[in-house]
A and B are shown apart, each in its own frame.
Chain A
Amino acid sequence: MTKYRINKTRFVDQTKTVSFTFDGKKYHGFEGDTLASALLSNGIHLIGRSFKYHRPRGIMSCGSEEPNAICQINNNTDLTEPNVRATEIELYEGLKASSQNCWPSLNFDIGGINNLISPFIPAGFYYKTFMWPKSFWKKIYEPLIRLSAGLGKSPTQPDPDIYDHKHEHCDVLVIGGGISGIISAKIAAKNNLKTILIEDKNILGGSTIYQNNKNFIIDNQKSNEWLMNEISELEKLDNLIIKTRTSLAAFHSYNYLLAKENISDHLPLDKKNGSIRQRLWKIRADKVIVAAGAIERPLIFNNNDRPGIILANSVKKYLDFYGVSTGLNNIIFTNNDSAYETAVSLFEKGISVKIVDIRKKSSSNIVKNAEDLGIKIYWNSTVVNTFGYKKIKSIEIMNLSEDGSNVTGNKHKIQCDCLSISGGWTPMVHMHTQSGGKLDFREIDQVFVPTEKSENHINVGSCNGDFELEEIVKNTNYKVKKFLNINEGGFDKISVLCSKESEKKNIWLLPNTISESKTKSFIDFQNDSTAKDIKLALREGFKSIEHVKRYTTTGMATDQGKLSNMHALGIIADTAGVKMGTLGTTTFRPPFTPLTFGAIVGRSVGKFFDIVRKTSIHEWHVQNNAKFENVGQWKRPWYYPINNENLHEAVQRESKAARDSAGILDASTLGKIDIQGSDASEFLNRVYTNAWSKLGIGKCRYGLMLNEDGMVYDDGVTTRLGENHYLMTTTTGGAANVLSKLEDYLQTEWPELDVFLTSVTDHYSTASICGPNSKKILNKLFPNKDFSDEAFPHMSYQDAIIDKIECRIMRISFTGELSYEINVESKYGKSLWENCIAAGEEYKITPYGTETMHLLRAEKGFIIVGQDTDGTMTPIDLQMDWIVSKKKYDFIGKRSLYRSDTMREDRKQLVGLLTDDPNEILEEGAQIVSELDKKPVEMIGHVTSSYFSPNLNKSIALAVVKGGKKMNGQKLFVPMENKNINVTVSDFIFFDKENKRINA
């Protein structure tokens, strides 16, 4: 045993040694230790340097509120984790920890100079100083500040760990496994309610599990022993799930809660392998009982941040739970009774202890107990200074004046190696407020307590402001039974004896002899904000608590101000002369403790990040060297390079082949909606801009769909399969939204229409064959079919059979070439495709991808919704007046086409652009101007599509330009970074304007 491991407890197995390193040096602890308790058992208090002043800092607490003792865990590039609280990490064999925010080393840190110049770096220093000159910020100030500041280091490699999500439903969720949580869970589970109890530590019991003081007796047993028995009974209950190492992250409305379970963080490295690291539980609970407990407050006095200054109850936990003494010559500085339990524990273990109490007296049992033991108590006294650089060595105390606002008498110096401080307790109301609950301020002990109004959750125990053991047990029993409508049983007959606190006194900022500007009374230990900073903020005119918080950064560190927020509020209230209750609190936002990104994303990483949709022909594309592009969730062949062709070369070849002989495109991803019902024609009349009633059966028609605001929303060809049966196609990316929009109108505006919509996108595969030889290929594929223009004209559809497979053939064209689309059930897609390739071989049929498709249609001036339009283009802007019916009384968006704004002639309109140099290819998105010299240069439009056309042997582009309709032939400019490109407005149909090829 080390010098500081002075006690044997049932929580730490001192037969099982665990070795670990801290800053490269090897130490030993035991199974059951945290990193913090193991370091303390080796006499190590100095853990890191503070954020701003680089002051030496040590372990201050034993839980998630720890502001100082944050470490870097592991040093490899993928598993390293910054900002881990040493008080929370369980010790395992081989754990490597190191200190943060110090250079070159923890013991000699050059940043410590900030502490000496600290009078010159008050709150807002960075905001005030680095404002000027402005250009210095990006290149000089920011990199320098980033170099010298910062917490730990992020991993630089992808996280190799596995994370998981789990959904859970229960009748009752109990948050917190302390005494009130255990009582609540037992009552709930014993009454046939499916109950989950979560606790962030590795064992249940909270602070009562190590409460061995004789003044706290439940049913004639010491409270820790009584609780131990309750826990073993609890573990036998069938309908109770107990989740330890699980911390609540968020409490959302409708009792939806997120909790993070640590599954393998506490295991040695060789046992972590392959195991899930953390699991995020998504819990929907009928009722929630919050038993989150309370956090001990520090006291705010000069130099209250030295290593060796520790919260009093944490000192007790290190002693009675871990068996570790935080010092051998202890002083306790308190404003309340609870710290006396620590004093008695220390005394009973033979450790020297003295007490400094700001109160004039206290007559409770526990204080009497301490007095009877002969422990020296300095009443009505306060600490005014502390000494010792890397570890506390002594303190100075003085008497308090009558009203506590000042100090009197002489300074008295006392030697020590540990100062245990206690400023009372703060109920953990985070969960309550996250769920929407409100708070009341209780003057007597200066705490915010939950206002109980919700029907779906209650707060019990010390998080509800019940601090005495008897109150906790009896109120919890009463409240839980009432909440769950339980009449019988529970803990009605329990007897509780405890010491009760009668004397209460609180001073947020303890007085001193020296002026405030010369003291360092830390409030937020991690962000180094002091009482002085808060007062400065108030003097500078910040009034709102939210503003003071952001200006001084109080409560904005990784601990989110668990120890600091109340003191900041108290000092603001005192200084401004207002009541704390009227000041309110800052907002408590989730998560309660930091969550790893891994836990948030769970399994949704890598190939599970998003759904990937592949056509049934996908495998063929892969085998034939296709490069893919993502269109929505679809993988579409982009181009098919041969012999190391680049994109441009492949597209030039594919485009030429499609016009000279034959090309084939996988068009399966186009959205397909099957429309049936006696009102199907009327429905189409209302959703498309053109007329549908007279479309013959077996005919196809192109349609343009608008939003109600008149802007183009989607387009596609719809085929009339029967009297009351249509097949609509949509853009690939718009399919889901179009279906939703159509369903919306059918259900809400036109419920009288007899129309049924079914998405059949995934049901059919489509091979689109185009080019002058396409008819010959179709003849080979379907030898019994007549493909003459008379028998099978453009914009018509026929059924056919190939290898006993039923096909729908549409003669439609998006390329301007003679073109056929063959649709088969998806499962036959690949076989159809391979048949087409085989039949086309003698015509050198060339598979082409989306890029070639885009080029071919641009040659013909066909728009792509979403590329040439952006939600601000009407069909008139697109020069597509021909498709807008003047005769129809109404269709979606019609009225908007006659709004004064949509009728403006200077709207951006679709035009063609030709570069003066035919080899110059414009950049899509490039801005268009008409005058280069006029400043500011007016942007009159932009390029939407741009290609080099191999069939025209020149560069072509589509663009939208203000008033473009009337600009044919006009010279414009496209200014680029290094040059201005001269362009001429042209017709946007560049190729085969007479449509000879479609009917060839």
Chain B
Amino acid sequence: MFVINCPYCGERDQSEFSCGGEAHIVRPKQPTELSDDEWAEYLFMRKNIKGVQFERWNHAHGCRKWFNMVRDTSNDKIHAVYKMGEKPPVI
């Protein structure tokens, strides 16, 4: 049970948040132009890294804002938290 520093609310218990999977997967602007394979890449393919992973999180039981987080999945150390649309930090 880690503590997450919500960029809008500050430090809160993990139980207030829900994880939305891998971050920085942008929905294609023109899906109809894509081949089945390209669309499947967007739709299904997700990394599952042991180590530093960029993730989407939602403060579901708080401000309900989505934000990004850099977490080491091997020890749950959180390296950075940043707002949607901000550039991912270099870790």
State the A residues within 8 Å of B (CB): 252-254, 256, 284, 436, 708-709, 740, 743-744, 747-749, 751, 889-890, 894-896, 898-900
Contact B85 A253 (CB under 8 A): no
Provide the residues of chain A in CB contact with B60, threshold 8 Å. 740
CB proximity to A under 8 Å, residues B5-50:
13-14, 20, 26-28, 30-32, 34, 36, 39-40, 43
Provide the residues of chain B in CB contact with A252, threshold 8 Å. 1
Provide the residues of chain A in CB contact with B85, threshold 8 Å. 751
B54 at interface by CB-CB < 8 Å: no
Task: Report, nearest first, the 9 A-B pairs whose CB atoms are least far apart.
Answer: A895-B31, A256-B1, A254-B2, A747-B66, A749-B27, A253-B76, A254-B3, A252-B1, A895-B39
Residue of A nearest to B2 (CB): A254
Contact A890 B3 (CB under 8 A): no
Contact B1 A744 (CB under 8 A): no
A749–B65 Cα gap in the complex (Å)?
A: 13
A709–B56 Cα gap in the complex (Å)?
A: 19
Given A748-B66, A751-B84, 4 more A-B residue pairs with CB atoms under 8 Å apart are: A708-B27, A894-B32, A895-B31, A895-B34
A744 touching B58 in the complex, CB below 8 Å, given contacts A256-B1, A895-B39:
yes
A966–B81 Cα gap in the complex (Å)?
A: 53
In the assembled complex, how far is the CB of residue B2 from the closest CB belonging to chain A, in whole angstroms? 4
User: Can you name 13 A-B residue pairings with CB atoms under 8 Å?
Assistant: A253-B75, A254-B2, A254-B3, A436-B75, A708-B27, A740-B58, A743-B66, A744-B66, A749-B26, A890-B31, A895-B28, A895-B34, A899-B36
In the assembled complex, how far is the CB of residue A975 from the closest CB belonging to chain B, in whole angstroms? 35
Contact A894 B65 (CB under 8 A): no
Provide the residues of chain A in CB contact with B75, threshold 8 Å. 253, 436
Provide the residues of chain A in CB contact with B79, threshold 8 Å. none
Provide the residues of chain A in CB contact with B32, threshold 8 Å. 889-890, 894-895, 898
Residue of B nearest to A282 (CB): B1
Contact B84 A747 (CB under 8 A): yes
Provide the residues of chain B in CB contact with A889, threshold 8 Å. 32
Residue of B nearest to A709 (CB): B43
Provide the residues of chain B in CB contact with A744, threshold 8 Å. 20, 58, 66
Provide the residues of chain B in CB contact with A748, threshold 8 Å. 56, 66, 84
Provide the residues of chain A in CB contact with B26, threshold 8 Å. 749
Contact B31 A747 (CB under 8 A): no
A743–B84 Cα gap in the complex (Å)?
A: 13
Provide the residues of chain A in CB contact with B40, threshold 8 Å. 899
Q: Counting chain A CB atoms within 10 Å of each CB, which of B1, B39, B40, B60 scores highest?
A: B1
Q: Counting chain A CB atoms within 10 Å of each CB, which of B60, B66, B75 scores highest?
A: B66
Residue of A nearest to B78 (CB): A254
Q: Of A284, A436, A749, A896, which contacts B39 at CB under 8 A?
A: A896
A284–B85 Cα gap in the complex (Å)?
A: 32
Residue of A nearest to B31 (CB): A895
Interface string of B69-84 (1 = CB under 8 A from A): 0000001100000001
In the assembled complex, how far is the CB of residue B23 from the closest CB belonging to chain A, in whole angstroms? 9
Q: Of B2, B28, B43, B76, which contacts A896 at CB under 8 A?
A: B43
A654–B42 Cα gap in the complex (Å)?
A: 49
Provide the residues of chain B in CB contact with A899, threshold 8 Å. 36, 39-40
Contact A254 B76 (CB under 8 A): yes
Provide the residues of chain B in CB contact with A709, threshold 8 Å. 43
In the assembled complex, how far is the CB of residue B14 from the closest CB belonging to chain A, in whole angstroms? 8
A252–B1 Cα gap in the complex (Å)?
A: 7
A478–B26 Cα gap in the complex (Å)?
A: 53
Provide the residues of chain A in CB contact with B34, threshold 8 Å. 895
Provide the residues of chain B in CB contact with A890, threshold 8 Å. 30-32
Q: Counting chain B CB atoms within 10 Å of each CB, which of A747, A748, A890, A896 scores highest?
A: A748
Residue of A nearest to B56 (CB): A748
Provide the residues of chain B in CB contact with A747, threshold 8 Å. 65-66, 84
A740–B61 Cα gap in the complex (Å)?
A: 11
A958–B58 Cα gap in the complex (Å)?
A: 38
A353–B43 Cα gap in the complex (Å)?
A: 76
Provide the residues of chain A in CB contact with B56, threshold 8 Å. 748
Provide the residues of chain B in CB contact with A436, threshold 8 Å. 75
A991–B81 Cα gap in the complex (Å)?
A: 56
A256–B15 Cα gap in the complex (Å)?
A: 12
In the assembled complex, how far is the CB of residue B56 from the closest CB belonging to chain A, in whole angstroms? 7
A436–B76 Cα gap in the complex (Å)?
A: 10
In the assembled complex, how far is the CB of residue A457 from the closest CB belonging to chain B, in whole angstroms? 14
Provide the residues of chain B in CB contact with A708, threshold 8 Å. 27, 43
A743 touching B64 in the complex, CB below 8 Å, given contacts A748-B56, A896-B43:
yes
A436–B32 Cα gap in the complex (Å)?
A: 47
Provide the residues of chain B in CB contact with A253, threshold 8 Å. 1-2, 75-76
A894–B28 Cα gap in the complex (Å)?
A: 12
In the assembled complex, how far is the CB of residue B31 from the closest CB belonging to chain A, in whole angstroms? 4
A740–B66 Cα gap in the complex (Å)?
A: 10
Residue of B nearest to A900 (CB): B36
Provide the residues of chain A in CB contact with B84, threshold 8 Å. 747-748, 751
Residue of A nearest to B60 (CB): A740
In the assembled complex, how far is the CB of residue B44 from the closest CB belonging to chain A, in whole angstroms? 8
Residue of A nearest to B3 (CB): A254
Q: Counting chain A CB atoms within 10 Å of each CB, which of B20, B64, B75 scores highest?
A: B64
Contact A254 B36 (CB under 8 A): no
Residue of A nearest to B83 (CB): A747
Residue of B nearest to A250 (CB): B1
Provide the residues of chain A in CB contact with B58, threshold 8 Å. 740, 744
Q: Counting chain A CB atoms within 10 Å of each CB, which of B27, B31, B39, B58 scores highest?
A: B31
Residue of A nearest to B42 (CB): A708
Contact A284 B36 (CB under 8 A): no
A77–B56 Cα gap in the complex (Å)?
A: 50
Residue of A nearest to B65 (CB): A747
In the assembled complex, how far is the CB of residue A56 from the closest CB belonging to chain B, in whole angstroms? 44
In the assembled complex, how far is the CB of residue B55 from the closest CB belonging to chain A, in whole angstroms? 13
In the assembled complex, how far is the CB of residue A882 from the closest CB belonging to chain B, in whole angstroms? 21
In the assembled complex, how far is the CB of residue A747 from the closest CB belonging to chain B, in whole angstroms? 5
A898–B43 Cα gap in the complex (Å)?
A: 13
Residue of B nearest to A890 (CB): B31
In the assembled complex, how far is the CB of residue A446 from the closest CB belonging to chain B, in whole angstroms? 29
Provide the residues of chain A in CB contact with B36, threshold 8 Å. 899-900
A479–B75 Cα gap in the complex (Å)?
A: 25
Residue of B nearest to A889 (CB): B32
A438–B2 Cα gap in the complex (Å)?
A: 19
In the assembled complex, how far is the CB of residue B9 from the closest CB belonging to chain A, in whole angstroms? 15
A898–B31 Cα gap in the complex (Å)?
A: 11
Residue of B nearest to A258 (CB): B1
In the assembled complex, how far is the CB of residue A724 from the closest CB belonging to chain B, in whole angstroms? 22
A254–B11 Cα gap in the complex (Å)?
A: 12
Residue of B nearest to A256 (CB): B1
Provide the residues of chain A in CB contact with B3, threshold 8 Å. 254, 284
In the assembled complex, how far is the CB of residue B36 from the closest CB belonging to chain A, in whole angstroms? 5
Provide the residues of chain A in CB contact with B64, threshold 8 Å. 743
Provide the residues of chain A in CB contact with B1, threshold 8 Å. 252-254, 256
Provide the residues of chain B in CB contact with A749, threshold 8 Å. 26-27
A284–B13 Cα gap in the complex (Å)?
A: 9
Provide the residues of chain A in CB contact with B43, threshold 8 Å. 708-709, 896
Provide the residues of chain A in CB contact with B30, threshold 8 Å. 890
In the assembled complex, how far is the CB of residue A1 from the closest CB belonging to chain B, in whole angstroms? 51
In the assembled complex, how far is the CB of residue A453 from the closest CB belonging to chain B, in whole angstroms? 11
In the assembled complex, how far is the CB of residue B11 from the closest CB belonging to chain A, in whole angstroms? 10
Residue of B nearest to A750 (CB): B27
Residue of A nearest to B23 (CB): A748
Provide the residues of chain A in CB contact with B14, threshold 8 Å. 254
In the assembled complex, how far is the CB of residue B29 from the closest CB belonging to chain A, in whole angstroms? 8
Residue of A nearest to B18 (CB): A740
Residue of A nearest to B39 (CB): A895
In the assembled complex, how far is the CB of residue A281 from the closest CB belonging to chain B, in whole angstroms? 14
In the assembled complex, how far is the CB of residue A903 from the closest CB belonging to chain B, in whole angstroms? 10
In the assembled complex, how far is the CB of residue A411 from the closest CB belonging to chain B, in whole angstroms? 55
A116–B40 Cα gap in the complex (Å)?
A: 66
Residue of A nearest to B75 (CB): A436
Contact A894 B76 (CB under 8 A): no
Provide the residues of chain A in CB contact with B39, threshold 8 Å. 895-896, 899
A896–B34 Cα gap in the complex (Å)?
A: 11
